[in-house]
Structure formats: C-alpha cells, structure tokens
Amino acid sequence: MASGAPKGGGSYFVRFDGRELPAKRVLRDAYRHANEREIEAKDFSGGQFVAKILQRLGFEVVVH
C-alpha cells in the first residue's frame, strides 16, 4: 500500500514530495485549512470527484 495510506483506504492518491497521500484526506485537510472547520469524509464522495478537484489545483493524482 502507498505511503501514508490508511488501511482500507481508497485508490486515489496525491503524489507530493516523493510520497503518495490519500486524495480525500488531502482535500479534507485543505478544506479545514481554508475554512477553519472540519468536513467529514462521509459528507462528500471521493474517487474521481476528488481527483478532478485536486488536478485542477495542479496536483498530480495517481490511481492504484
């Protein structure tokens, strides 16, 4: 499994600084930073939805 991926996590990852981070987690952390409040993982879909957002922001998204 990719570095930083939670057990049972999804298959979309952000490649950043030599690591692969769970894409949905990256988006949740960015949301928290921008809005000063949490958004629960269950409150939005992951997969292609998250990948498209992160790619538009210039991140490299990989699928395993």
Tell me which residue has tokens 């988006």.
27
- 9 vs 37: CA distance, rounded Å: 23
Q: In this predicted model, what pLDDT tens digit does every residue of 6-56 receive, in sequence order?
A: 455 579 999 999 999 999 999 999 999 999 999 998 898 889 999 999 999
pLDDT number for residue 2: 43
Q: In this predicted model, what pLDDT tens digit does every residue of 55-64 receive, in sequence order?
A: 999 999 999 9
Question: Residue 4 pLDDT more than 70?
Answer: no
Could you tell me if 4 and 21 are in contact, meaning their C-beta atoms sit under 8 angstroms apart?
yes
Could you tell me if 1 and 12 are in contact, meaning their C-beta atoms sit under 8 angstroms apart?
no
Token pair for residue 63?
């699928």
Question: Residue 1 pLDDT more than 60?
Answer: no
Residue 62 DSSP SS3? strand
pLDDT number for residue 10: 77
